[in-house]
Structure 1
Amino acid sequence: MTTITEVFLQTILSFFTILFITRILGRQQVGQLTLFDYINGITFGSIAATVATDLNQRTWHHLLGLVLFGGLTFLMQYICVKNRRVSKVIQGEPIIVIQDGKILEKNLSRFHYTVDDLTHLLRKKDVFDINSVKYGILETTGEISVLKVASKEYVKAEDMNLQTKQESLPTEVIITGNIIYENLQRRGLTVKWLLDQLKMMNVKSMKEVFYATVDGDKRVYIDKEEDHFKKSEDITEEQR
């Protein structure tokens, strides 16, 4: 059997094997993949490529590895469905990163996310003002779910026959205790003005500020390094 023929046959075998396994494992959109699913996908692809092109070893060795890996993945998915605790360990759990307009820095760091990562996710949800967020939940897929403050919910102005004022985008002026001087200059503001605003909000040190923005009306939003809540809700607890 020629090399080309072997590769041709092994590729067909690899293709239909991985197609069969993925059909058994079920469908899931790429945007909904957890880290566990993502790593599994890479591994499947790697093994399948080896099955298709490796002519130095017996094909069924690699094929057996592919089938076994698919079986283990199916088993873990089944266990995760049946056991919530195992699911938390394997697939992770959603976590609250914004509560009542304040960033929960410790929860954010558990996912190794930065403020820039968070604001990027919020903008994809058409949220440009953190103060308008009642709860922001970082999902296991890396996406964020947002519940806005009731008074900030979107209503079409034309439906209410209202005259509206175009909101300007908030400008970041402090990130993790560091002033972003160029953004202050773009707003035509000075460091002294910013420090005066911080004093008015009972901020004694720049190190206390985790994140701060200024909008077009010179309204300052501040999120401190340590926000104090009575209790951060656990959204993963089972309802009894």
Structure 2
Amino acid sequence: MPDWLSVAVRTLLAVAVLFIMTKLLGKRQVSQLSLFEYITGITIGSLAAYISLDIDMKWYLGIVSLCVWVGVSLGIEYLQIKSKRVRDFIDTKGTVLIKDGKILEENLKKERLTTDELMEQLRSKQVFLASDVEFAIMEPSGSVNVLLTRENQPLTAKHTGIKVNPEQEPQAVIMDGRIMDEPLATMGLSREWLNTELETIGVTPENVFLGQVDANQQLFVDLFDDQLVVPKPNIKAALYALLKKCEADLEMFSLSTEEEEAKHMYERCSQSLERTLLEIKPYLKN
């Protein structure tokens, strides 16, 4: 077999073997790596290159070595799952860099991290003052995670004592001009509903690059033609405006009628609707 053809065949074989081995190792190998996973990734890549190009040696020995490395990696990952001591030994523990707004210089030196690098990591978390940080830790993967002081944390519904319902994830119901039936079924919707919504905004499925439905069953679309502007759905705003009109109508009825019983009835209904609007306003005006 000519050398060029041998290299081509071995490269294809190396790609296939490397893909299978990476699938076996799992998603951690393509995310942020620990120290051992970093070494494993480099070695496996080098072995794959050896299998592809070294035509003078027995190429199948590279596959044997590759299988051994993958087997060792799987074994170590199993031990890490079963034992915290093994995890701490192989991946090491996280290092606290900031505590109570105070930078721990000794821990910075231990991780060989400069002040500029620490500030760069903080800025990547949208933090520009070290004193705003309650706690910062460098993870075994090398990333830095921060906990802001309570006064610097974003205000959430929990802070205000408001209970909110679980949010259902949006579903992509149209992709590349094709309707996706499974996401529609997940949202409890049908093609008829989708076609009605599309007719309302004046587009067809074939013109939609991406269509998504949120938890409130509102449809958002992005068209192939970026020059066309599609109005955003405003169902909640329309509902709020309709309820406000009903409240105003009830007040008008109470003022226009001369019957005391009817006047009191309209006033009670108007006041009840006003209280309801105050409660639901945060949900309809967001």
Could you tell me the TM-score, scaled by structure 1's length? 0.62
Partner of 2:36: 36
SS of the residue corresponding to residue 32 of structure 1 reads coil
Partner of 2:25: 25
Partner of 1:125: 125
Residue identity opposite 2:43 in structure 1: T
CA contact (8 A) 2:29 2:41 kept: no
Q: Which aligned pairs between 1:108-147 and structure 2 lie closer than 5 A?
A: 108-147=108-147
Q: Highest CA radius of gyration, 1 or 2?
A: 2
Partner of 2:91: 91
Partner of 2:107: 107
CA contact (8 A) 1:101 1:135 kept: yes
Q: Distance in 2 between matches of 1:30 and 1:44?
A: 13
**Runs of 4 or more consecutive aligned structure 1 residues displaced over 3 Å after TM superposition:** none
Between the two structures, name the one with larger relative contact order (CA 8 Å, sep ≥ 6).
1
Residue identity opposite 1:80 in structure 2: Q
Distance change >3 Å, CA 66–CA 30, structure 1 → 2: closer
CA contact (8 A) 2:132 2:152 kept: yes
Distance change >3 Å, CA 46–CA 94, structure 1 → 2: same
Unaligned 5+ segments in structure 1 are 157-240
The Cα of 1:66 is off from its aligned counterpart by 0.8
Residue identity opposite 2:32 in structure 1: Q
Q: Could you give the per-residue CA deviations for residues 158-193 of structure 1, whole angstroms, max 9, x where no partner exists?
A: xxxxxxxxxxxxxxxxxxxxxxxxxxxxxxxxxxxx
Partner of 1:63: 63
Q: Distance in 2 between matches of 1:90 and 1:36?
A: 7
Partner of 1:152: 152
The Cα of 1:105 is off from its aligned counterpart by 1.5
The Cα of 1:154 is off from its aligned counterpart by 3.2
Q: Could you give the per-residue CA deviations for residues 94-142 of structure 1, whole angstroms, max 9, x where no partner exists?
A: 1211001101112222221111111110000011101111000111111
SS of the residue corresponding to residue 58 of structure 1 reads coil
Q: Distance in 2 between matches of 1:29 and 1:149?
A: 34
Residue identity opposite 1:70 in structure 2: V
CA contact (8 A) 1:47 1:62 kept: yes
Q: Distance in 1 between matches of 2:6 and 2:91?
A: 38
Q: Distance in 2 between matches of 1:29 and 1:66?
A: 15
SS of the residue corresponding to residue 28 of structure 2 reads coil
The Cα of 1:155 is off from its aligned counterpart by 4.5
Q: Which aligned pairs between 1:161-240 and structure 2 lie closer than 5 A?
A: none
Structure 1 position 52 matched with structure 2 position 65: no
Q: Could you give the per-residue CA deviations for residues 12-42 of structure 1, whole angstroms, max 9, x where no partner exists?
A: 1111111111111111375522222122111
CA contact (8 A) 1:31 1:141 kept: no
Partner of 2:209: none
CA contact (8 A) 2:29 2:37 kept: no
Partner of 1:166: none
The Cα of 1:56 is off from its aligned counterpart by 0.7
Partner of 1:16: 16
Question: Equivalent pairs: percent with the same residue?
Answer: 34
SS of the residue corresponding to residue 28 of structure 1 reads helix
The Cα of 1:10 is off from its aligned counterpart by 0.9
SS of the residue corresponding to residue 27 of structure 2 reads coil
Residue identity opposite 1:139 in structure 2: E
The Cα of 1:43 is off from its aligned counterpart by 0.9
RMSD: 1.7
Partner of 1:79: 79
CA contact (8 A) 2:134 2:147 kept: yes
Could you tell me the TM-score, scaled by structure 2's length? 0.52
When the two structures are aligned, how many residues end up with a matched partner?
157
Q: Distance in 1 between matches of 2:60 and 2:145?
A: 45
The Cα of 1:48 is off from its aligned counterpart by 0.3
Q: Could you give the per-residue CA deviations for residues 212-232 of structure 1, whole angstroms, max 9, x where no partner exists?
A: xxxxxxxxxxxxxxxxxxxxx
Q: Could you give the per-residue CA deviations for residues 45-70 of structure 1, whole angstroms, max 9, x where no partner exists?
A: 11100000100101111111111111
Partner of 2:221: none
